[in-house]
Structure 1
Amino acid sequence: MKIQPRALSYSLSAVLTLVAGPALADCGSLPNLSQLRSALVGAITPTGGANGGLGFNMWGTIVDRDGTVCAVAFSGSQFTSQWLGSRVISAQKANTANDFSLGHNATPAGSAFPTGLALSTANLFSAVQPGGSLYGLQHSNPVDTEVAYGNHPGFSGVTQANFNPAPVNSQAFGTTADPMVGKRVGGVNVFGGGLALYKAGQRVGAVGVSGDTSCTDHMVAWRTRHALGF
């Protein structure tokens, strides 16, 4: 039997992907879905004063220190109770805060930041404007849309039944079965809502929230992080 080289190439690629599996996450010491949702709901409806903004429900995402998504939650009664686009934006914000923050002992001797530097996504806004020191950063790490939405492109030479399962049911969004969980979604976002998470001075991940104005996102992120014990 003659096997077409192209079909064999795609088949091997698919097999290697299956063997490799998801990213090796370090989520054990980070909040789970239930804890994230509880903190997010409490941060949106605080007893100590309103957050301002539009008063909308929001999405929240936690990533570990290598950017793997550990939990995705929403504050409303169902996944359509908040802006659907903010689901991926919350993950972008968590990824950004994690990617551009440093912990203790991460910088060399003589650094201007000897104990590390925590950059929120809000801190990046002015630096990425034209002429800024980080202009273009927001285009540097695009979102992996296959991870974000659970879509699977077809492979030429192999069958859809074997290698192109249907997209993830949207009812999984914001649950333990969310397609982003256990994977690195990437993305850079440069307005309020993303904060790094630290333990004993070491960066262990980040939280991102989205679904309201930029300033409100920033406020809710701070309150969510505090409620989670970081």
Structure 2
Amino acid sequence: MAQAPCPADHDKLLAALKANVKASGGPANGGFETNEWAAVVARDGAVCAIAFSGPTADSQWPGSRLVAAEKANTANGLSLAQMALSTANLYAGTQPGGPLFGLQETNPVNQAAAYAGDPKTFGSASDPLVGKPIGGVVVFGGGLALYDGKSIVGGLGVSGDSSCADHNVAWRVRAALGLDKVPAGVNPNRKDAIVYDVDPGGKSASGWGHPLCAGTEADIAAELGAGVGGSIHK
């Protein structure tokens, strides 16, 4: 069977990422403002592009390469043509006692793909993850499904800052790629935005909430339309 088409190649992903991370010349996203990794998976779950915003691969957290790919896999794998879920939308439901508790364990990372290849090629067009399914489920901000206006075409993952800032960067990168034609989500008004409605006791009013991070990420998300304020929104 032929592989699904890649919704964004390496060069487009790299340009969009660099333009939307403060450390590489883009706007602020409210967190640590560090460099970031980004990954795209096609609709069949195969990784098809990976990039980093800094000058070298170790200018951003090395571990975030795989986290970004797993976020992309999660958003793609748990979204449909008519219902978009961001990885941020999964936080509340996967906490102990929640209806999605244990979700993180359901799709193990493809170990053979995750740690293979020459590290010198990580983040390049020839990254060894390209063409392989990575698996993994991440339940905090930074992963979004990709939509071209006709259907879902894959997923985007961003990692390397706070999870809240990762969500903001992903939101901006998706828009820069022109793949933000989201049909619907858990909140029809904000689609797959991050929902800041977790109370001090850890409960989410909507059931789809995500905790605030330490910076100004929530304020930036509100400005972007990438976040929904709640009872503890700053």
Short-chain TM bin: 0.7 to 0.9
Aligned to 1:122: 88
Match of 1:127, as an amino acid? G
- Higher CA-based Rg: 1
From 41, 44, 52, give the equivalent of 1:63: 41
Matched, 1:93 2:71: yes
Residue aligned with 1:70, SS:
strand
- Residues 142 and 167 in structure 2, CA contact (< 8 A), matched pair in contact too: yes
From 57, 69, 83, give the equivalent of 1:79: 57
Q: TM-score by structure 2 length?
A: 0.73
Displacement after TM superposition at 1:47 (Å): 8.1
Displacement after TM superposition at 1:48 (Å): 8.3
Aligned to 1:149: 115
Matched, 1:137 2:103: yes
Q: Counterparts of 1:60 and 1:24 in 2: how far apart (Å)?
A: 24
Q: Counterparts of 2:2 and 2:50 in 1: how far apart (Å)?
A: 17
From 197, 207, 218, give the equivalent of 2:146: 197
Instruction: Count how many residue pairs are aligned between Structure 1 and Structure 2.
Output: 178
Q: Counterparts of 2:29 and 2:47 in 1: how far apart (Å)?
A: 26
- Residues 43 and 153 in structure 2, CA contact (< 8 A), matched pair in contact too: yes
Q: Which segment drifts farther, 195-204 or 210-219?
A: 195-204
- Residues 67 and 95 in structure 1, CA contact (< 8 A), matched pair in contact too: yes
- Answer 1 or 2: higher relative contact order, Cα 8 Å, separation at least 6: 1
- Residues 109 and 136 in structure 2, CA contact (< 8 A), matched pair in contact too: yes
Matched, 1:37 2:14: yes
- Residues 110 and 136 in structure 2, CA contact (< 8 A), matched pair in contact too: yes
- Residues 86 and 210 in structure 1, CA contact (< 8 A), matched pair in contact too: yes
User: Within 5 Å, which residues of 2 pair with 1:207-218?
Assistant: 207-218=156-167
From 168, 178, 181, give the equivalent of 2:130: 181
Residue aligned with 2:120, SS:
helix
User: Within 5 Å, which residues of 2 pair with 1:98-109?
Assistant: 98-103=76-81
Q: Counterparts of 1:80 and 1:117 in 2: how far apart (Å)?
A: 36
- Residues 25 and 70 in structure 1, CA contact (< 8 A), matched pair in contact too: no
Q: Counterparts of 1:83 and 1:216 in 2: how far apart (Å)?
A: 14
Q: Counterparts of 1:148 and 1:87 in 2: how far apart (Å)?
A: 10
Structure 2 portions without partners, runs of 5+: 180-234
User: Within 5 Å, which residues of 2 pair with 1:47-58?
Assistant: 49-58=27-36
Q: TM-score by structure 1 length?
A: 0.74
Query: Which runs of at least 4 in structure 1 moved beyond 3 Å after TM superposition?
Result: 46-49
Displacement after TM superposition at 1:200 (Å): 2.5
Q: RMSD of the alignment, in Å?
A: 1.6
Q: Counterparts of 1:59 and 1:49 in 2: how far apart (Å)?
A: 16
Match of 1:119, as an amino acid? L
The structure that is helix-richer by fraction is: 1
Provide, for residues 74-120 of structure 1, a one-character-per-residue CA deviation record: whole Å limited to 9, x for no partner. Answer: 001111111010000000000000000010xxxxxxxxxxxx21000
Q: Counterparts of 2:161 and 2:21 in 1: how far apart (Å)?
A: 10
Match of 2:89, as an amino acid? N
| Fraction of identical pairs, as percent | 53
- Residues 49 and 130 in structure 2, CA contact (< 8 A), matched pair in contact too: yes
Displacement after TM superposition at 1:204 (Å): 0.6
